[in-house]
Chain A
Amino acid sequence: MICLKNKKGTILLIGAFFVLIAVTCILGINNIHKNMDKIIYYQNRADAHMLSVVGLYVEILDKISWINKQLKRIGLLAMFIAFVPELTPLLAATEKFAHGLQEYQDILLLKLTTYAPILDNKLRIENDLKLPGNYHSFKYRRQPTINLGFITIPGLIEIHSDIFNTACVRHRGLIINSRACVDNSLHNKEKGWFAPVEEKWDVLMQNAY
């Protein structure tokens, strides 16, 4: 009788042990998947945030470069117009157009300096990214106005090379570190100030995923 009871107990004990192993294995695998899921969940929101903010920089810098290009063209066009007496009435319109472009450029610069930090914080809140904010520093200056006598043309906007270091959004301190920065293939980054005239701004993204 005792022997039978012992046998029954052993079988139950072995059975319980296998149940424990099976449950532990299942829970372990599930836990790994759940954590991987959490990582990608965070990565998705972090990448979306980075690309959105840097994308705003790229979009506005492209427009600023385009206006710089047009201002350069207007300068050349004005000189041509000045030498053709029949076209001289167009000078006033050309000047107004150039000043209109300058004002648009100023609005774009204002949008970039004010909206970029707002967008950054907005997306952090909306995507529930609990991380400290980025430092948005955008240095720019306008070249002196060119006075040709018959027309004044606004100077081009110059951007400091710092932009390649500061117009970056990073997500650090987690398993996956991500980083996205603005990039311009035409620019020599060793130069200090530069006036871009080509819409060659792009996003350079680096992450471990």
Chain B
Amino acid sequence: MLIELYGLMISVLILVLLGGTFYNVINTRYKDEQLLHKGLMEYFFYDKCSSLLKCEADKISRKGLYEIKIRKSSKPFKKKGEEVQNEVLEDLYRKLEKASKGTTNK
């Protein structure tokens, strides 16, 4: 009885430890991928390269991870979707403000 229980406990422990290690490996990789994505955007949009990444004109890579082939443009880009949305909203607010002033003046 005791032997079976010990066996069960050891197998549970092994499984949990293995699962935990596996989780750790995947989680590290997931964080690396996120870092690479952020780095990629920064490299193209702000011409910055994080110290954790290796940026070249034809590739960007993270140590221990795969490398992505790119073609770096000579100038960094300025616009991103959200920034454009903000610009549009600001423009709209400006127009509304102008219109409201116009109506009060009348």
Binding site for B on A (CB under 8 A): 8, 11-12, 15-16, 18-19, 22-23, 26-27, 29-30, 33-34, 36-37, 40-41, 43-45, 47-48, 51-53, 55-56, 58-59, 62, 119, 123, 126-127, 183, 202-207, 209
Q: Name B87's closest neighbour in chain A (CB-CB).
A: A185
Residues of chain A contacted by B29 (CB below 8 angstroms): 37
Binding site for A on B (CB under 8 A): 1, 4-5, 8, 11-12, 15-16, 19-20, 22-23, 26-27, 29-30, 33-34, 36-37, 40-41, 44, 60, 66, 68-75, 77-81, 84
Contact B8 A16 (CB under 8 A): yes
- What is the number of contacts between chain A and chain B, taking CB atoms within 8 Å? 113
Contact A43 B4 (CB under 8 A): no
Contact A44 B33 (CB under 8 A): yes
Answer whether A19 and B26 are a contact pair too, CB < 8 Å, given A44-B40, A48-B68.
no
Told that A51-B40, A55-B72 touch, could you supply 15 new A-B pairs with CB distance under 8 A? A23-B15, A33-B23, A33-B26, A36-B30, A37-B29, A40-B36, A47-B37, A47-B41, A56-B73, A119-B71, A127-B68, A183-B79, A202-B77, A203-B79, A205-B80
User: How would you classify the secondary structure of chain A's contact residues: helix, strand, loop or mixed?
Assistant: helix
Residues of chain B contacted by A56 (CB below 8 angstroms): 71, 73
10 contacts between A and B (CB under 8 A): A27-B19, A40-B36, A48-B40, A48-B60, A51-B70, A51-B73, A55-B44, A59-B75, A126-B69, A203-B44
